[in-house]
Amino acid sequence: MKMNAYVAGVGMTGFGRMMDRGLKSLGAEAIKAALFDAGVDKREVQAAWMSNAAAGVLTGQECIRGEVVLRSVGMGGLPVVNVENACASASTAFNQACAMVSAGLYDIVLACGVEKMYFEDRAKVFGAFMGAVDVEQLQSILDGLQKSAAASGASEASKGAGKNRSMFMDIYAAAARSHMQRFGTTAEQFAMVSAKNSFHGSLNPRAQFREALTVEQVLASPMIAEPLTRPMCSPIGDGAAAVVIVSERKMRQLGLENPVRVVSSVLKSGWDHGAGEAGLSEVCAQEAYEEAGLGPRELSLVELHDASAPAEIMAYEAIGLCPKGEGGRLVEEGATRLGGRIPASTSGGLLRKGHPIGATGLAQVVEITEQLRGHAGARQVDGARVGLCHNGGGNIGADAAAQCVSILVRG
């Protein structure tokens, strides 16, 4: 739906390995920061959308995750909607919160995403990702990934999926090999995405990884699933992000300077479509552009779902930054680097900022908001006016299970 909501405040923890912290501690930090940034009291919040994807499997906290986190900061007595939608959980929470404000039902709401993924039992963590596909088809999916790897001579990708890594890296690896075969995309171009995002992440004090890597270092890193080396794969992580969303009336009452408006947000699930037909990301992006009355040429920057380096290249094409098959060339030309025509993943992206899956979509909103306000420090995009967030989750068939594309503008 066409949106008319404003981001009044944002807050975010650093992302990383935090063995001594849980959902309440992480969520509280992000929520308090967002409320402070908005200049509102927690008692003014009328409703909350709380996202988390894996706590039920990893911590045993089911059913009332959002209520538990909110009660720890003294926020009770308000409607709480718990949102779970794989890696698109946080963007789904944002979409629904903005929709309710745009519909006139609330003047001030909270969207918060929080995830705790670091545990000693890594197999349990990787196993949590297994539930983000059709589990009744799980064995056939794994068999299909192994056959794809074997057919292309990918020895590492032919073993270990879901045991010593997330099976989604194998799904991305298979898509990458297909893109290479169809369009001539190279492993060097995938490495350019990782190197670029490592540079962006080196400028972000909240990023999980701050070391800037060269293309050569990315290519020389351990192979995970051909053609993906370790820096081409997003890490697991702990963290939280929160956003306070208000109506236009409340925005004026608060006297917000440099207001950031949500002009469109499109949330869809995948479907069975033909190989030559537009996919989920393409359809969501096109609808978001139409609702916003904008096109890809008017974007100042984008935050993309770069859960793997090839995924960012494919996202370039899906959201219209370049024609199909030319994503590799776009990154090679430097267009998506800070200072380029359309900077992508300026936060460091999922690859370097980190990917606590239930918080990721809102962390993208935090980055875009700070950029549009001119508060992004060393990674600031000059004159940023329009930003796009692209966040997907799960996999069914040949596409994501869920996708959300949102567009925010300054003023």
Residue type, 66: G
Query: What whole-number distance in Å separates Cα of residue 159 and Cα of residue 147?
Result: 10
Bin 80: left if φ > 0, else alpha if -120 < ψ < 50, else beta: beta
Query: What whole-number distance in Å separates Cα of residue 354 and Cα of residue 306?
Result: 10
Of 189, 178, 152, the closest CA to residue 309 belongs to 189
How many Cα neighbours within 13 Å face the side chain of 50?
28
Contact 68, 50 (CB under 8 A): no
Of 392, 372, 132, 178, the closest CA to residue 285 belongs to 392
Is 87 considered catalytic here?
yes
Is 98 considered catalytic here?
no
Query: What whole-number distance in Å separates Cα of residue 370 and Cα of residue 389?
Result: 13
Asked whether the CA dihedral 76, 51, 28, 253 is positive or negative, the reply is negative
Q: Residues 6 or more apart from 123 whose CB is under 8 A from it?
A: 163, 164
Q: Where are the alpha helices (DSSP H) in 10-108?
A: 23-38, 55-58, 65-71, 89-102
Strand, coil or helix: 283: helix
Q: Which of 179, 200, 305, 355 is catalytic?
A: 355
Q: Is the peptide bond before 227 cis (omega within 30 degrees of 0)?
A: yes
Query: What whole-number distance in Å separates Cα of residue 191 and Cα of residue 214?
Result: 8
Residues 29, 262, 92, 47: what is their CA dihedral angle, to the nearest 10 degrees? Answer: 60
Query: What whole-number distance in Å separates Cα of residue 99 and Cα of residue 262?
Result: 10
Query: What whole-number distance in Å separates Cα of residue 405 and Cα of residue 411?
Result: 20
Catalytic positions, written as ranges: 87, 355
